């Protein structure tokens, strides 16, 4: 943890000791998936994903469509962060979900959303978060249309055949305000 994180009120937390409701955190409040470094990073809003235990490790599962710019950063790094925000930052998450960093100067998307980057654990997150999970990729695969048991999910979610990439990542550290 950096000195700046301590000044902002972040404390390192054991993931097993956090009382988390992923249905509310991800599905209702949303999260940012962020990857990169001081030179270039990008973030995206996500409302799909999960938290749990796989291979006896605390993990996060996230899905990213192939056309998302953030995917390039997640693919080129072994780490990314998931960050969660108070309700008064919802506009920032809306902005990050509706604007592409591909069209802006490096790191400008988050700044335009009113977020201040901080670099730690080999990756990036934002000062305004109330919870940050640092994740290290363990496994990735594509969602395949032939694997759907309920074909209505394919039709409803992938009319353009832009199937998500699934990333399973170990949560290696957690920081909470």
Residue 15 CA to its chain's centroid (Å)? 16
pTM for the full model?
0.97
Q: What is the pLDDT of residues 85-140, one digit of tens each?
A: 999 999 999 999 999 999 888 789 999 999 999 999 999 999 999 999 999 999 99
DSSP 50-95: EEEEETTEEEEEEEE-TT-HHHHHHHT-SEEEEEE--GGGHHHHHH
Q: What is the pLDDT of residues 84-96, one digit of tens each?
A: 999 999 999 999 9
Please answer whether residues 115 and 130 qualify as being in contact, where contact means their C-beta atoms are separated by less than 8 angstroms.
no
Residue where the block lists tokens 């999260």: 31
Please answer whether residues 33 and 80 qualify as being in contact, where contact means their C-beta atoms are separated by less than 8 angstroms.
yes
Residue 157: its H or E element: helix 151-157
Strands 165-176, 79-84: pairing is unpaired
């Amino acid at each position: 943890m950096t000195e700046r994180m301590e000044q902002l009120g972040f404390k390192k937390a054991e993931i097993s000791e956090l009382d988390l409701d992923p249905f509310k955190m991800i599905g209702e409040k949303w999260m940012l998936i962020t990857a990169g470094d001081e030179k270039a990073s990008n973030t995206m809003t996500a409302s799909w994903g999960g938290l749990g235990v796989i291979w006896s490790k605390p993990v996060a599962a996230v899905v990213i469509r192939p056309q998302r710019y953030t995917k390039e950063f997640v693919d080129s790094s072994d780490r990314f962060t998931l960050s969660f925000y108070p309700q008064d930052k919802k506009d920032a998450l809306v902005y990050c979900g509706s604007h592409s960093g591909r069209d802006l100067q490096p790191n400008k998307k988050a700044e335009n959303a009113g977020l201040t980057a901080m670099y730690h654990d080999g990756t990036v997150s934002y000062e305004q978060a109330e919870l940050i999970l640092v994740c290290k990729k363990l496994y990735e695969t594509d969602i395949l249309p032939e694997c759907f048991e309920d074909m209505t999910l394919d039709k409803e979610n992938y009319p353009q055949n832009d199937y998500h990439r699934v990333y399973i990542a170990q949560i290696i550290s957690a920081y909470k305000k």
